[in-house]
Amino acid sequence: MMNKEQYIESLRKLKPIIYCNGERIESVVDHPMTRPHVNSAAMTYELACQPEYEDLMTVTSSLTGKKINRFTHIHQSTEDLVKKVKMLRMIGQKTGTCFQRCVGFDALNSTFIVTHKVDKECGTNYHQRFVEYMKYVQENDLMIAGSMTDVKGERSKKPGQQADPDLYVHIVERRDDGIVIRGAKAHQTGMVNSHEMLILPTTNLGPDDKDYAVACAVPVDAPGVIHIFGRQTNDQRRLQGDIDTGNAEYAIVGGETLTVLNDVFVPWERVFMCGEYQYAQEYVETFAAYHRQNYGGCKVGVADVIIGATAAMAEYNGVPNASHIKDKIIEMIHLAETMYNCSIACSAEGQKTLAGNYYVNTLLANTVKLNCTRFMYEISRLAHDVAGGFIATLPYEADYKSPVTGPYIEKYFAANPKVPTEHRIRMARLLENMTGGTALAESMHGAGSPQAMRVMLYRETNLEHKKSLAKKLAKIEE
C-alpha cells in the first residue's frame, strides 16, 4: 500500500495533458486549482496507514493474500459491502467533499462480474485478463478513475445513430496487438489525480452499436488523452485566499474533467469488452447499483459536516436553544440517517455473484440515490434557513483583511460576543460552498439522474407479487 506522500509522489511521475481556464497545468500536485482534489484523494491513502482505521480502510486481497487498500478490493462478503459504506461516511466527515476513488472502486467490481459472465457465455478470456489487471492495481495501490459517462450527443438517438460517431467512445480499429478507441468521457471525477481510467460502456446497445461496446484500462497520460478541467462554483477563490474558499484544503466536489480520447491505443491485455453489445446494459446497471450504494455513505459524511456547521452557526448567531432551530437540525439529522440506513440495508441484503464477489441489493441501492437527489437539497435548504442570508452576501476576504474596511466587517458581522467574528465568517463560507452550486448538482446527477433510479425501482419491484398479496387479503380468486 502507498501512504499519502507516496501517492503524491506517484502523481509527479505522470505526465497527463491537462487544460484549465485556457492554460495547461504542468503539475497537478502543485497547481492551486487541482491541489485540493489531490489532498482529498490523498486522505484515502493516509487513513489506510493509521491503525485506528485499519479495519475499515484495509483488507486482505482475495487475489494475492496481501494486505491492500479497500479501494482496490473485490468484495468478498456482505460485511465488505457494509464496511465500504461506513468507510465512505468516515472519509466524507474528514474531507467534507468527494474523495474521488469510489467510481473506480465500483467500476472494478462491476467489471469483475460482467467479464465473468461474458466469458462463460461467449468463450472469451476477458475475466482472466481483468484478474491480472486487478493484481497490478492492488500491488501498486493505484487510484482508478471509473469512466462511464459519454457526452451522449442527441439524447433521443443511439450511439450508432449520432451525426458525429465520436459522441460515444467507440472502437475505430482492431489490430493484432490491441484496439484503437476514440471519443470522450464527461464528468470524470478525480481523473487528473488518478493513475488510470477504466472505461465502461454507458448505455444499452444494439447490434448496430457493437463498436461502442468497449471496456478497457488506459493510463491517464497515455498518448492521445487530453483532460479539460471542469469549472466549479467559486473555484477561482482558491487563487485569492483560504477564508472565501470555505473548504480550502479539500475543495468542493471531485475535480471533474472532460477527457478526450484521440485515437488511443489499448493493448489486448487491457481490453475487457470488445463488441459484446448484448452485455452493455447489464454492465451499466451493475456499475450504477454499486455506485448508488455509495451515496448513503459519502454524502452522509458530507451531510454530517453540514449539520455540524449549521449547529455551530446557530450557536454563533446566539440562538442554539430556539425550538424551531432545534427542529430544523433534527430534521437534517433524520434525512441524513435515512440515507445512511438505505445504504447499510442494500449492503446487508447483498448476494454472492457467479463471479464470486458480492453485489448489492439493486432495489435498495437505487432507493438510496433517489433519496439523495431530494434529501441533500433539503438539508442544504435547512442549513441556509438556520444560518441566515449573510452566507450569500459576505464581503470579500481581501476586504476583511484590509486595514481600511476590515474593522467595519469585524464590528458589523459580530453576533454572539463569545464567538470571534472571523469564526462566524469562516463557518458561513464553509456552508456557502458545501450547500450550493456544483455540490448540489452532483447530488442530483451523480450516479445517474433521478429518472434513471425511478426506472430501476419500477423494474426491480415485483408488482405482481404485491398485487397477489392484496388480492389474497381481499379474497379475490382468478
Q: pTM of the entire structure?
A: 0.95
Could you confirm whether 31 is annotated as catalytic?
no
Could you confirm whether 337 is annotated as catalytic?
no
Among the listed residues 7, 46, 78, 98, the single catalytic one is 98
Residue 173 DSSP SS3 = strand
> Quick one: pLDDT at residue 252?
79
Among the listed residues 20, 216, 274, 298, the single catalytic one is 298
Residues, the chain: 478
All three cell numbers of 471, joined, read 388480492
- Of 245, 255, 329, 231, residue with least CA distance to 99: 255
| 128-159 pLDDT, tens digit each | 999 999 999 999 999 999 999 999 999 999 99
Confidence of residue 48 (pLDDT cuts 50, 70, 90): very high
Phi first, then psi: give them for residue 146, nearest 5 degrees. Answer: -75, 120
Indicate the average pLDDT of the chain.
96
Q: Residue 97 gets which letter from DSSP?
A: S
**Fold annotation for 291-473:** Butyryl-CoA Dehydrogenase, subunit A; domain 3 (1.20.140)
Q: How far is the C-alpha of 399 from the C-alpha of 390, rounded, in Å?
A: 15
Does 347 score more than 90 pLDDT?
A: yes
Asked whether residue 405 is marked as a ligand-binding residue, the answer is no
**b/e burial code for range 142-174 (CB count within 10 A of at least 16 → b):** bbbbbbbbbbebeeeeebbebeebbbbbbbeee
Q: How far is the C-alpha of 251 from the C-alpha of 245, rounded, in Å?
A: 8
Cβ proximity of 458 and 366 under 8 Å? no
Among the listed residues 276, 285, 432, 442, the single catalytic one is 442
Which alpha helices (H) appear in 318-462, and where do they start and end? 323-348, 362-387, 397-401, 406-412, 421-434, 438-445, 450-460
- Of 383, 109, 150, 354, residue with least CA distance to 246: 383
Could you confirm whether 442 is annotated as catalytic?
yes
| 232-270 pLDDT, tens digit each | 888 899 988 899 999 999 987 888 999 999 999 999 999
Does 449 score more than 90 pLDDT?
A: no
Among the listed residues 44, 189, 202, 286, the single catalytic one is 189
Burial class for 50, CB neighbours closer than 10 Å (0-12, 13-18, 19+): exposed
Domain ranges within the chain, ordered by starting residue: 4-277, 291-473
Could you confirm whether 405 is annotated as catalytic?
no
Confidence of residue 169 (pLDDT cuts 50, 70, 90): very high
Confidence of residue 438 (pLDDT cuts 50, 70, 90): confident
Among the listed residues 20, 34, 97, 102, the single catalytic one is 102
Among the listed residues 45, 133, 277, 295, the single catalytic one is 295
Could you confirm whether 127 is annotated as catalytic?
no
Could you confirm whether 295 is annotated as catalytic?
yes
| 267-286 pLDDT, tens digit each | 999 999 999 999 999 999 99
> Quick one: pLDDT at residue 241?
86
Does 447 score more than 90 pLDDT?
A: no
Q: Residue 289 gets which letter from DSSP?
A: H
Q: Do domains 4-277 and 291-473 have the same CATH topology?
A: no
Among the listed residues 46, 196, 256, 315, the single catalytic one is 256
All three cell numbers of 411, joined, read 464590528
**Fold annotation for 4-277:** Butyryl-CoA Dehydrogenase, subunit A; domain 2 (2.40.110)
